[in-house]
Amino acid sequence: MMWALRRTANSFRSRSRIRASRTRCAKSGNVNDDLENGVGNHEHGRFTAIRCLALKKLPLNLSVTASLCVETRSFSSHAGDEDNLNDEFLELDAPPETHDTGESNADENNREGLLSEVETFDDDDDAEGNLSEASLKGLDLTKDESGGSESGKRMSTSELLKVIMDSPQQSIHEAIKMWFDEGNRLGNTEISFVLFQLRKRRELEKALKFLDVVEHHKSPDLDERDYASHLDLIAKVHGLEKAEKYFAEIPKLFQGQVVYQTLLANCAAAFNAKKAEEVFNKMRDLGIPLSAFSCNQLLLLYARHDKKKVYDLLLMMEKEHVKPTQFTYQLLLDAKGRSEDISGMEQVFETMKAEEIEPGVPLQALVARYYITSGLNEKADAVLKEMEGENIEANRAACKILISLYAALGKADEVSRIWKVCEARPLLDECAAAIIAWGKLGQIAKAEAVFDIMVKRFKRFASKHYAALLNVYADHKLLVRGKELVKRMSDDGYKISPLTWNALVKLYAEAGEVEKAESILEKAIRQNPEQRLLYSSYMVLLEKYAEMGDIHNAEKIFHRLRKRGYTSRIKQYKSLLQAYVNAKAPAYGFRERMKADYMFPNEMVALQLAQVDAFGKP
């Protein structure tokens, strides 16, 4: 029934054409400018219309010259030096490096250390990041080959893991080398176990340094999966550019499907469509079999940023007999929901069920989310009741997302009812969900009460769970309470994670202290230059400066976003343009900047471009 799925995706084209025509009518500029209209004619890096299905790779027409793709561009203003903020809170240095022991419950682990659906329900940017990271799961680079039942026993007996966890970040290389120098040997099972545990704890930098030493001591015995894991870690810790350099150094013998798919997935995770298409085409040239995993990476990009290509990609999957996976449907459901095409979303959902693919709680939650954002509360409520089942106590896994979604519906009684199921013995992520839910409903005291329950029940937990309450304080501009909570974190020996830094930046920015918020961001970068902060940490500053019409500082934050590898997301261009709009200043050359980044204006950005054009006219 692939044809049915492709038929539901076909409306992406018609909806794009409708929006493009509206944009043309609304603008005062050159209506024939494809970039301005956001229409495109299947040039400039788009697929040609795939009627010539005999082609063995995606027929990309990369007619945009490479000279336009320079990384260094001249801005309307240049970033200046920032003053150090002499503030008691900001002078708190990072606490002594003590690793978070995490949760005792296996199902409490989140792949990227984020709060999964709970935190990202209202955060479009981090939700986007979560979706991209979810696409990496198919690589299976974090598999514990030591045997699940033995994992807990081995955790306490692995001397190497203990050495790595107890070593400060700056001396990890020396500690591992000393372990080798003492005559210890390392087999593939031990490598897999240590890597699995380090990734599970989000100790990615330590995992990367561990692999550096392993490759040096054990290079003759490495296989393709080892290289792929190393590539993935480099991309996460240092960014895509350094990952590409490492890829070029991998022996050709090991540049196979797993390594290429790892590179492709990280291109998609960075939302770099141009590089993703290049890697995809290279795989096709080399005869690497087309897989659903590879197609999903491009679908992840197109479903968010270039919907006209979705139909073409599904057509190729049909021709190549690539069966869509549950994640394929998740991407399509998300794309339909974002396009406000609720009937199309429902059609995709029915097609999935006809294919006998069980939607499960995550996909049901996704559908409910878009019902809520579309104001279809009765439909959303029906989905939530279906998620609950006949006995919510027996369906405990659904509790945390139900708490979040009922809060989004404004149903405090339902949040309270579901929380009572968890309250006696709550899991950590259920606590985080309840904290955020009560914050969303404006009941701060109840959010704090849940936090107290969490502190009493668990001796140690990840700093992300502190960030749940910190975000509540930020949303309600409770700056003093937020500062007290961070001081408590420091006193308790927790290190400040990217999620915590994000909450701190938001806390000050929402309280109107934007300069202090930026100083916090700078402090985070200085403390650990290799650490990759969240996209939303930069965006909250960019949006605040845009509101103020502060072009200089907006350009500065935009530049830092690019420097940190956050490119190819339309929202940052939209926010930067808004700074020019609010300042009533022309944005000379902005179209060219977008074109060089292979970015195509949507309807809103096209309207903004028309406004800033008008400011420059005599």
Please provide the average confidence, as pLDDT, over all residues in the chain: 77
Residue 219 has a pLDDT of 55
φ/ψ bin of 513: left (φ > 0), alpha (ψ from -120 to 50), beta (otherwise): beta
| Residue 136 pLDDT class (50, 70, 90 cuts) | low
The string of DSSP codes covering 11-74 is HHHHHHHHHHHHHHHH-SS-TT-HHHHT---S-TTPBPPTT-TT-SS--B---S-GGGG-S---
Q: What is the DSSP-derived secondary structure letter of residue 169?
A: G
- Write out pLDDT tens, residues 271-309: 888 899 999 999 999 999 999 999 999 998 888 777 788
> Half-sphere exposure (CA, 13 Å, Cβ side) for 441?
23
- Separation CA 577–CA 590 (nearest Å): 8
Q: Which of 70-74, 302-306, 536-540 has the largest mean confidence?
A: 536-540
Residue 584: how many other CB atoms lie within 10 Å: 11
Give percent of the chain with pLDDT exceeding 90. 42
User: Residue 58: pLDDT above 50?
Assistant: no
pLDDT of residue 100 exceeding 80, the answer is no
Greatest mean pLDDT among 41-45, 308-312, 539-543 lies in 539-543
Sign of CA dihedral 110, 116, 119, 124: positive
pLDDT range class, residue 65, cuts 50, 70, 90: very low
Rounded CA separation 290/283 (Å): 8
CA distance 246 to 234: 8
The answer to whether the beta carbons of residues 125 and 539 sit under 8 Å apart is: yes
Asked whether the predicted pLDDT for residue 467 surpasses 50, the reply is yes
Task: Band the pLDDT of 547: cuts 50, 70, 90.
Answer: very high
- State which amino acid sits at residue 130: N
Q: What band does 117 get if pLDDT is binned at 50, 70 and 90?
A: very low
Percent of the chain with pLDDT over 70: 73
Count the Cβ atoms, other than its own, within 10 Å of residue 387: 23
pLDDT score for 522: 92
If phi > 0 it is left, if psi is from -120 to 50 it is alpha, else beta; for residue 379 that is alpha
Q: What six digits make up the tokens of 60?
A: 């990309």
Q: Angle at which helices 428-440 and 463-475 pack, to 10 degrees?
A: 0
Residue 358: half-sphere exposure toward Cβ, Cα within 13 Å:
3
User: Residue 34: which residues within 8 A CB-CB, separation 6 or more?
Assistant: 40, 41, 43, 44
Q: Give the separation between CA 494 and CA 496, rounded to whole angstroms.
A: 6
pLDDT in tens, 561-596: 988 878 768 899 999 999 999 999 999 999 999 988
Q: Which amino acid is at 410?
A: G
Q: Does the structure show a pLDDT above 50 at 23?
A: no
pTM metric for this prediction: 0.70
Residue 449, burial from CB neighbour count under 10 angstroms (0-12, 13-18, 19+): middle
Name the nearest CA neighbour of 210 among 183, 245, 237: 237
Query: Poorest-confidence range of 402-411, 426-435, 531-540, 545-554?
Result: 531-540
